[in-house]
Amino acid sequence: MSFKIILFFLIINVPLLRAQKCVDTIETNIGKILIFSNQTWRLYNENTFDGIMNKRVHDFMTKNQVFSYKINWNNNSCFSGVRNDLGQLKDSIWVHVNGGESSAYFPPVSGAVTSTYKYRNGRYHLGMDLDLETGDTVYAAWSGKIRYAKYNEGGYGNLVIMRHPNSFETFYAHLSKILVYPNQEVNAGDAIGLGGNTGRSYGSHLHFEVRFYDATINPEEIIDFQSKKIKKDSVLLHKSLFRAGAKPSDYYLSESIDESDNEKKVFDESSDQPATVKPKPVVRSTQAKYYRVKSGDSLSTIARKHNTTVSQLCKLNGLKTTSVLQVGKSLRVK
């Protein structure tokens, strides 16, 4: 089939490509690559991918929650286009981050942390800044698939986004050069770009984010950046983790909101207009504790094991004393 016929077929059958002005196609051993007039490209034979890389997690997020969470596959936007409020999570879920459904973790760069996930300079910083020199190699933290790889006008600069079988997405921002392309499959430790200072940046560094269904989570909840290792092979995700500026394992123990709190700005490096939010107050009188239900467990046996009462377990988990416990479900016991 000639180039003109291929191009005509694409223009007629794929309106999106027509809008992007496909100017060339290249046949490779990984499939057909489409070249666009804006100097971007993608694999044509993978445009039907639904973005689901962990069916277990996705089934849980769509069937066990107050409402069905969505996660799209979008090569042209740094976010998937869905506003998921993870603060409304009904049930917690275990996610493997080092083995099991996930590859082993690989540190994206060797540099030290220069800024953490926190409130700074009047707005929230939703990732970790890691030191590097322009031109240093940046590596994939886990194996996965490239969802986004191009210059981001909102502030990230040259940005690579990977989606992983462990259900997380990782962001690698301010790169001087991108070494991967959308829909490419990449292994943990593969080079995906070179460090730089592009976008809204005031010195060479890597801005590194971890997101779950488009919501940021403090990377330090998962990774020890000093030792450059994963803290635990699995992490329990619950709604208290998905708030701007959350410290590792700094959980809410009260659902009340103090309306007198000053409004603060969220800055995710993707927009010139940060959103306004009212953070919930943190009550640190004790630390939340969870227990996974096993076969043969009952509310009374779990209560005795954790030195609490059935009524307290019901209150913490929204249960009735007659509720049937689901094996594998996470119960809050403290």
Res 117 pLDDT > 50: yes
Query: Contact, 210 vs 217, CB < 8 A?
Result: yes
Average the pLDDT over each of 86-90, 145-149, 251-255, 265-269 and give the range with the smallest value: 251-255
- For position 202, what pLDDT does the model report? 87
Range among 5-9, 209-213, 260-264 rated most confident: 209-213
Examine the domain organization and report whether 9 and 155 are in the same domain.
no
- For position 248, what pLDDT does the model report? 79
Examine the domain organization and report whether 267 and 304 are in the same domain.
no
CA nearest neighbour of 209 among 149, 156, 287, 263: 156
- For position 207, what pLDDT does the model report? 97
- pTM to 2 decimals? 0.66
Give the whole-angstrom CA distance, residue 172 versus residue 124: 18
Confidence of residue 229 (pLDDT cuts 50, 70, 90): very high
Q: Mean per-residue pLDDT for 39-54?
A: 75
Res 12 pLDDT > 60: no
Strands 157-163 and 168-175: antiparallel
pLDDT tens digit sequence for 58-84: 999 998 888 889 988 999 988 876 778
Average the pLDDT over each of 35-49, 96-110, 151-165, 286-300 and give the range with the smallest value: 35-49
- For position 258, what pLDDT does the model report? 34
Question: Which pair of structure tokens corresponds to residue 120?
Answer: 């700074």
Res 17 pLDDT > 80: no
Examine the domain organization and report whether 262 and 295 are in the same domain.
no
How many residues are present in the chain?
334
Angstrom distances, CA of residue 62 to CA of 77, 83, 172: 23, 14, 28
At residue 224's C-alpha, the angle toward residues 218 and 230, to 5°, is 95
Strands 123-125 and 264-267: parallel
Q: Mean per-residue pLDDT for 141-164?
A: 95
- For position 196, what pLDDT does the model report? 96
Examine the domain organization and report whether 249 and 312 are in the same domain.
no
Count of CB atoms situated within 10 Å of the CB of 67: 11
Examine the domain organization and report whether 167 and 298 are in the same domain.
no
Query: Contact, 244 vs 87, CB < 8 A?
Result: no
Beta bridge pairs of residue 18:
none
- For position 282, what pLDDT does the model report? 41
Domain count, the chain: 3
- CB neighbours of 162 closer than 8 A, spacing ≥ 6? 140, 141, 142, 144, 145, 146, 147, 169, 170, 172, 186, 192
Res 177 pLDDT > 70: yes
Angstrom distances, CA of residue 29 to CA of 36, 41, 45, 293: 20, 16, 12, 48
Q: Mean per-residue pLDDT for 177-203?
A: 95
Examine the domain organization and report whether 294 and 197 are in the same domain.
no
- For position 81, what pLDDT does the model report? 67
Angstrom distances, CA of residue 80 to CA of 50, 74, 171, 229, 245: 11, 5, 13, 28, 22
Residue with token string 């009952």: 298
Examine the domain organization and report whether 239 and 220 are in the same domain.
yes
- For position 11, what pLDDT does the model report? 43
Question: Which pair of structure tokens corresponds to residue 244?
Answer: 């701007």
CATH number at residue 323: 3.10.350.10
Query: Contact, 105 vs 98, CB < 8 A?
Result: yes
- For position 187, what pLDDT does the model report? 97
Confidence of residue 333 (pLDDT cuts 50, 70, 90): confident
- For position 283, what pLDDT does the model report? 40
- For position 29, what pLDDT does the model report? 61
| Residue ending a domain, choose from 264, 283, 302 | 283
CATH number at residue 148: 2.70.70.10
Confidence of residue 55 (pLDDT cuts 50, 70, 90): very high
Examine the domain organization and report whether 221 and 295 are in the same domain.
no
Examine the domain organization and report whether 242 and 309 are in the same domain.
no
Q: Mean per-residue pLDDT for 20-47?
A: 69
Count of CB atoms situated within 10 Å of the CB of 166: 25
Examine the domain organization and report whether 217 and 249 are in the same domain.
yes
Confidence of residue 290 (pLDDT cuts 50, 70, 90): confident
- Give the DSSP per-residue string, 44-96: GGGTT------HHHHHHHHHSSSS-------SSSSS-S----GGG--S-EEEE
Res 142 pLDDT > 80: yes
Domain that holds residue 36: 3-46
Examine the domain organization and report whether 276 and 297 are in the same domain.
no
Examine the domain organization and report whether 112 and 232 are in the same domain.
yes
- For position 132, what pLDDT does the model report? 94
